[in-house]
Structure 1
Amino acid sequence: MLIESAAAALRQTFSPQLRAILWKSLGLTLGLLLLVWLGLTRLIQAFQASHHISAQYPILDTLAYYLAGFGLFVALAYLMPAVSILVAGFFLDDAAEIVERTDFPGDPPGRALPFGTAMLYAVRFAGLTLLVNLAALVVFFVPVVGVAAFFGANAYLLSREYFEMAAARFRPLPEAAAMRGAFPLRTLGAGGLLAGLMIVPVVNLVTPLFGIALMVHLHKRLSRQGRLPPPAR
């Protein structure tokens, strides 16, 4: 079921129907990452200037320059899951509607959450994801543990956020959360796939749109198993 959902989501992500949303999501993702990069760069420059590193220790200044570049790369990788959730919340309903219409034309369409509600949910969860990833960043240099912490935390967080947002088009949010809990291995497996994409540079930029399509397909397939009550709305 997960493999079929992932294959369908990959096809949908680069389909002509979603091409316009793909470019918009890429632009928004890159824009948010650029803002974060500029902010972190300014902080590093302000720190160096306040401690007079350039004037007193030119060699350390050069070393700090390269270390800062590496640190920014690592920091952006750990911030990417939170950025992904924000972008997904912004484009969720437009993308999900296309996926539902093209791949499930015989099913009743979902209902969009009010934009303010969807974004508030996304912002709140992005904040939680940011805090968790900052905690995972602390153990980045511990062999094995750093990667495991990043992967495990984001597999859970991304599975929870993406699945519940997709399911909320058909069910109240508490019921969407209960449905995720009823299929923990499959939803966590989908989250693990998204967390794996986060590690791959450039490819991780398409995670918001791919994640939406993946969870729409997964929700549809799980709903047809008959182990849960029908959608409440």
Structure 2
Amino acid sequence: MILDAARRSLANLFAPETRGVFWKVLGLTVLALIVVWFGLRESFVAFVWPWLQGAVMPDLPQWAGWLTFVFGIAASLGLALGLVLLLAPVTAVIAGFFLDDVAEVIEKRDYPADPPGTALPLGPAIAGSLKFLGIVILGNLFALLLLFIPGVNLVAFFLVNGYLLGREFFEFAAMRHRTPAEARLFRAKHASTVLIAGLLVAAFLAIPVVNLMTPLFAAGLMVHLHKALSRRDPDVSLRQG
């Protein structure tokens, strides 16, 4: 069921109906990441680097001046790592404004006999995206704390992002047909299935360049998964479109 949903979602990435949404999400995601990069860099230059120069470097002997270069390299790597950790929340928030378009295309094309889904109002959608942004950042900061524990860091990345992205995108798909409370209940009832699907999303996220399509892939995957689970387990009520 999960693999079939993933296969259909991958095919949807290249469908003519979703091409316009893809270019919108891709362009805005790249722009947002550029803004985030410069924001991190300027924050480091304005606050962290002066502190290092004042608190550490004056005490260095002359022969250790090369450490300035090492600090610069370490700072660059740290900024790059910060950008990687922010990739998940940035892409999710950007794509959140367009995912209903993708879901609507999939539902009309692949499930024409089902009641159409209903998009969330703009206000609750923005509030939910911002709340999710904070949760994902905190989750990835926790994963960052485990970075230097061999073997644990990679596992933490997949588990944190698998859980959070799986939850976010599944509830998005479910809330097109259910109330928010019903969507959360349905997701909790199938938590293990949603987590496994979320791990596929996290694996997709880990592939450079390809990961810019993560929100579109995740949205399609969870729309198909929600449809499959609803057919298999129809005891939780559906909001009629």
Shorter-chain TM-score bucket reads over 0.9
Judge conservation of contact 2:13–2:217 (CA < 8 Å) in 1.
yes
Indicate the residue corresponding to 2:61 in structure 1: none
What is the Cα deviation at residue 50 of structure 1? 4.8
- CA distance in 1 between counterparts of 2:44 and 2:67 reads 14
Q: In the alignment, does 2:169 pair up with 1:169?
A: no
- CA distance in 2 between counterparts of 1:229 and 1:10 reads 28
Runs (5+) with no aligned partner, structure 2: 59-63
- CA distance in 2 between counterparts of 1:80 and 1:134 reads 13
Q: In the alignment, does 2:45 pair up with 1:45?
A: yes
Q: Given the alignment, which residue of 195, 206, 224 partners 1:217?
A: 224
- CA distance in 1 between counterparts of 2:235 and 2:9 reads 24
What is the Cα deviation at residue 227 of structure 1? 4.0
Judge conservation of contact 2:186–2:236 (CA < 8 Å) in 1.
no
What is the Cα deviation at residue 148 of structure 1? 1.3
Indicate the residue corresponding to 2:32 in structure 1: 32
Indicate the residue corresponding to 2:70 in structure 1: 63
Runs (5+) with no aligned partner, structure 1: none
Size of the alignment, in residue pairs? Answer: 233
- CA distance in 1 between counterparts of 2:49 and 2:91 reads 31
Tell me which structure has the larger Cα radius of gyration.
2
Indicate the residue corresponding to 1:7 in structure 2: 7
- CA distance in 1 between counterparts of 2:51 and 2:137 reads 28
SS where residue 32 of structure 1 aligns? Answer: helix
Q: Which amino acid aligns with 2:8?
A: A
Judge conservation of contact 2:171–2:183 (CA < 8 Å) in 1.
yes
What is the Cα deviation at residue 101 of structure 1? 1.1
Indicate the residue corresponding to 1:107 in structure 2: 114
Change (3 A) 1:35 1:221: same
- Scaled by the length of structure 2, the TM-score of the pair is 0.90
- Scaled by the length of structure 1, the TM-score of the pair is 0.93
Structure 1: which 4+ aligned runs deviate by more than 4 Å?
Answer: 55-58
What is the Cα deviation at residue 172 of structure 1? 0.3
What is the Cα deviation at residue 51 of structure 1? 4.1
- CA distance in 2 between counterparts of 1:227 and 1:99 reads 20
- CA distance in 2 between counterparts of 1:168 and 1:126 reads 18
Output one character per residue of 1:143-168: Cα deviation in whole Å (capped at 9) or x when no partner: 11111111111111111110001110
Q: Which amino acid aligns with 2:191?
A: P
RMSD: 1.8
- CA distance in 2 between counterparts of 1:43 and 1:29 reads 21
Q: Given the alignment, which residue of 196, 200, 207 partners 2:207?
A: 200
